[in-house]
Structure 1
Amino acid sequence: MDIVIIIPAYNEEAHIEKCLTSLVNQIYSAKHILVVDDGSTDKTPEILSSLSSAHENLTYTSREKSYSHEPGSKIVEAFNFGLAGLASSYDILCKFDADLIFPNHYLETLHKAFEANSKLGMFAGFCSIEIDGVWQIEKLTNPDHIRGALKSYHQSCFRDIGGLTSAMGWDTIDEMKARYYGWDVETKNSLIVKHLKPTGLHYSKSLPKVFGISLFRMRYSLALAFLTCFKMALNKKKLDFFYKAMLAYLKSNYKKNSFLINEKEGAFIRKYRWHKIKQRLF
């Protein structure tokens, strides 16, 4: 089973070597690891040049800059840029972030999961962050949600969902579409990856606004958006996140042509979310 990995990278000189070293030393090797240098102004290109010359399955490509600086859009555009120029065929396609350190059995575990279940469309482990010298699972989302930093797709599933949406919320849309089209989505809590940068570090000011807008564009109802924003605010321990996100959601109400999914997919997402909420409550 051929695994291809695409890694968008922007000014990752502090982390990219650790990330790639952990991937090229996997027990089960990736067929191709492609890093997309997204207009870095630090030493990222030099590091990529050195590492790619030492490993046959590691290459990189560069582009001048992203066309967006919004959360979600920037990284997906870089990923799609790499995918458009990808010459390698694959069975499993991975989109990984450049600030991760993978255990050496990560790809082996991923491979076995897809081999064992022909309906498995998406799979991932969990991100952990270092707090006071201790690595702890980053608890920002539900355990059944695959973090945007750790995506992997069966080739047929990736085709069914139409690739990645270049917008905030893409990492929810992809797995919801996968479920909508009959694919399983699986996470494994014993498969832990070290995340070297806190999620949303560079987007802390704009994140509440784009988060609220993304919920509207995914056709969340008012009540569902309220609960989702409130939960995110609690996780981040920032009450103003809730107010800003909900305000953005409400202001988006007039932009009816900005939906990212169709009506049937939206209905599916709402039904799935309410089902999960009821499960947790009862």
Structure 2
Amino acid sequence: MKTYIVIPTHNEERFIAKTLNSLVSQTLMPKKIVVVNDNSTDNTCAIVKDFIHQYNFISLVHTNASRDHMPGSKVINAFYKGYATLDKDYDIICKFDADLIFPKDYLEKITTSFKKDGSLGMVGGFCYIQKDQNWVLENLTNKDHIRGALKAYRKACFENINGLKPAMGWDTIDELLAQYHNWTIKTESQLQVKHLKPTGNSYTPKARYKQGEAFYSMRYGFWITLIASIKLALLKKQPVLVIDYLTGYFKAKRKKHTFLVSETEGKFIRNLRWKKMKQKIF
């Protein structure tokens, strides 16, 4: 199976070399890697160009977006700038962050999983962050969810869900829609990926209401939004975020923001969310 990788980057000079080194050292090599320079003002491009001189399957494209690290739209728009340069002769398409160190067998293991199970639409490992000289599981990790930092899709699944939504919550919507289209999702706990920059570290205050807006756009409804808001705020150890999330939800509802899923998909998503919550309780 052929694997293509797109890596959006913005001022990642501290990490991008480590990420690329881990990918060019895989036991099963990717066929293509596209790094998307999104308005970087540091040495990110120069570092990537050094890799391009050594590896002919790596390329670099440029885009200019907001300097703010706004979650959702910025990174997916950058992803599509890279994706547009690729042909469609792939079996697996990956959207990876530029601050990860992958184990050497990462691509081999996820490819094996796709080969073994034809119903598998998405697969990924777990993110670990460094604390006191030790690598520990990042607290936002959920065993049923693949982090947005390391998404890998079977081509047919990626096409079924119509790709990635350029909005906050894209990395939840993709999994919900995959299940709507009868694809399964698998997390590989043994694949421990080092996450060098913990999630959300560079988000600006402008993003404070985005999560609540995302819950609205996914047609969660109030009660699922409330439960999801409390859970996420507690995981981030910032209970006050519940207020921001709910404020964002009601702002989106008042302004009648565009939904990211259809009514039928929304009903499926709500039923699926309630089902999983009941399973965890009982």
Q: What TM-score bracket applies, with the shorter chain setting the length?
A: over 0.9
Deviation at 1:56, TM superposition (A): 1.9
Alpha-carbon displacement from aligned partner over 1:55-107 (angstroms, at most 9, x marks no partner): 12211111233598521110000001111121362000000000000000000
* Deviation, structure 1 residue 206: 3.8
Q: How does 1:103-122 map to 2 (within 5 A)?
A: 103-122=103-122
> In 2, distance between residues paired with 1:206 and 1:67?
12
Match of 1:221 in 2: 221
Q: CA deviation at 1:271?
A: 0.9
Identify the residue that residue 201 of structure 1 maps to in structure 2. Answer: 201
Q: Which residue of 2 aligns with 1:171?
A: 171
3-state secondary structure, aligned to 2:140: coil
Alignment of 1:232 with 2:201, yes or no, is no
- Residue of structure 1 in register with 2:9 after alignment: 9
Note if 1:265 corresponds to 2:265.
Answer: yes
Match of 1:153 in 2: 153
Whether the 8 Å CA contact 1:67–1:74 is kept in 2: the answer is no
Contact 2:173 2:218 in 1 (8 A): yes
- Mapping for residues 53-72 of structure 1, pairs under 5 Å: 53-66=53-66, 69-72=69-72
Runs of 4+ in 1 over 6 A off after TM superposition: none
Contact 2:8-2:97 within 8 A present in 1 as well = yes
Deviation at 1:257, TM superposition (A): 4.8
Unaligned runs of 5+ in 2: none
Distance 2:257 2:14 in 1: 41
**Paired-residue identity, %:** 46
Secondary structure of residue in 2 paired with 1:238: coil
- SS in structure 1 of the partner of residue 94 of structure 2: strand
> Is 2:75 the partner of 1:82?
no
Aligned residues: CA RMSD: 1.4
| Cα deviations by residue, 1:160-216 (Å, 9 ceiling, x for unpaired) | 000110000000111111100011111111111000001011115344410011000
Structure 1 distance, partners of 2:271, 2:109, is 31
Q: Distance in 1 between matches of 2:67 and 2:85?
A: 18
Q: Is the 8 A contact 1:66 1:78 kept in 2?
A: no
Residue deviations 1:117-160, cap 9 Å, x none?
11110000000101111111112143111110010000011110
Alpha-carbon separation, structure 2, partners of 1:113 and 1:281: 30
Q: Do 2:120 and 2:185's aligned partners in 1 also have CA atoms closer than 8 Å?
A: yes
In 2: Cα distance, 1:220 partner to 1:58 partner? 40
Which residue does the alignment assign to 1:48? 48
What is the correspondence of 1:30-41 to structure 2 with a 5 Å cutoff? 30-41=30-41
**Structure 1, unpaired ranges of 5+:** none
Q: SS of 2:193's equivalent?
A: strand
Helix, strand or coil: the match of 2:163? coil
Counterpart check, 1:20 vs 2:16: no
Matches within 5 A, 1:242-253: 242-253=242-253
Report the number of matched residues: 282
TM-score w.r.t. length of structure 2: 0.96
Q: Aligned partners of 1:124 and 1:45: how far apart in 2?
A: 27
Instruction: Report the secondary structure of 2:34's partner residue.
Output: strand
Q: Secondary structure at the match of 1:202?
A: coil
Q: Secondary structure, in 3 states, of the residue corresponding to 1:108?
A: helix
| Residue aligning to 2:275 | 275
Does the 8 Å CA contact 2:8/2:38 hold for their aligned counterparts?
Answer: yes
